[in-house]
A = this chain, B = another copy of it.
Amino acid sequence: MQATTEQLLWMYEKMVEIREYEETMAKVYLEAKLPPKIQKGLAFDIGAGPVPGEMHLAAGQEPVAVGVCAHLRRDDTVVGAHRPHHFAIAKDVDLNAMTAEMYGKATGLGRGKGGHMHLFDPAVKFSCSGIVGAGAPQACGAALAARKLGTDAVAIAFFGEGAANQGAFHEALNLAALWKLPVVFVVEDNKYGISVEKSASTAIASNADRAVAYGMPGVLVEKNDAVAVFEAAGEAVARARRGEGPTLIEVKTDRYYGHFQGDPETYRPKGEAKALRQHDPIPALGALLRSRDLLDDESDAALRTRVSARVQAAYDFGRNSPYPEPQDALLHVFAD
């Protein structure tokens, strides 16, 4: 399956958008979290600033999100994990409401109740979870619903290579294969589960080889490259839509930041992150586009201006939105 010009340009623009989103967040997140504004003796205060709490950024992992989501419709479901921004953006989650959510604002997707690991946008069928591995069975449920409702919608479960050792992974893959559900399981192998290297957590080198255990196709995408992901995902999504069942894809990708912001990364070889950036997938796709005369300095600049406007508008929206009333904490435990 070959990407159309439109798809290539869409992937490029979305990757640029994700990257800018994450780089902006890296800065915003640090606001008011460092001395001398914080408790004496602290180096950093996770609970301070306009965007408090944990923050897992996905810079470097853009190809996985865009390569898969390029094939999706609004009515396809995506379930992400604790590192969800790239998927959310690629699935066209409302950027303003998503950003407001991370600021904890009343205008946020979850009116400030969810935060960065709990983004729910039913309009585009996006959700995520802070519990490793938990999304995989949930994606099966969405796929089951599609079958029961007679649509050809598909569901994607995205998770990290660390999650592939959680029991939920196994149960979900068996269920999906057994019931021939239209799901695609996509493992982002960014080499680490927090500090633990894949080789210290996973008995085999590639999770794609685990597909055999469920009688489904397993595909390894060896390069952190949007077009490569696009091709693998295209076949998997098409297969799912045709009612032929699930696929397991693993993509070797790169995490540019720490596991979460503030991670001392002492477990990581010095300079590793820097070296990874030598193979940045965004300029790589840019170069491809240029080689095909689909991009030049001017259109690239225009695109980046457009993206910037969107991203910065979202941050402005988040920052300037009002907080919920404290007692609104009591609302929404149950639907009426």
Which residues in A have some Cβ–Cβ distance to B below 8 Å? 165-171, 173-174, 177-178, 200-204, 209-210, 212-216
Contact = CB atoms under 8 A, between A and B. Distances in A.
A214 B174 CA distance: 16
A324 to B, nearest CB: 37
Q: Which 5 A-B pairs have the closest CB atoms?
A: A167-B167, A170-B170, A177-B203, A210-B213, A213-B213
What is the copy number of this chain in the assembly?
2
Nearest to A201: B178
Nearest to A173: B203
A174 B168 CA distance: 13
Contact of A203 (B166, B174, B204): B174
Given A203-B214, A212-B212, A213-B213, 20 more contacts: A165-B174, A166-B167, A166-B171, A167-B170, A169-B170, A170-B170, A173-B203, A174-B202, A177-B203, A177-B204, A178-B200, A178-B201, A178-B203, A203-B216, A204-B212, A204-B213, A204-B215, A209-B213, A210-B213, A212-B213
A178 to B, nearest CB: 5
B178 A167 contact: no
A168 B212 CA distance: 19
Give the most central of A173, A200, A203: most B CB within 10 Å: A203
Contacts of A203: 173-174, 177-178, 214-216
Nearest to A245: B203
Nearest to A169: B170
Contacts of A170: 165, 167, 169-171
A180 to B, nearest CB: 9
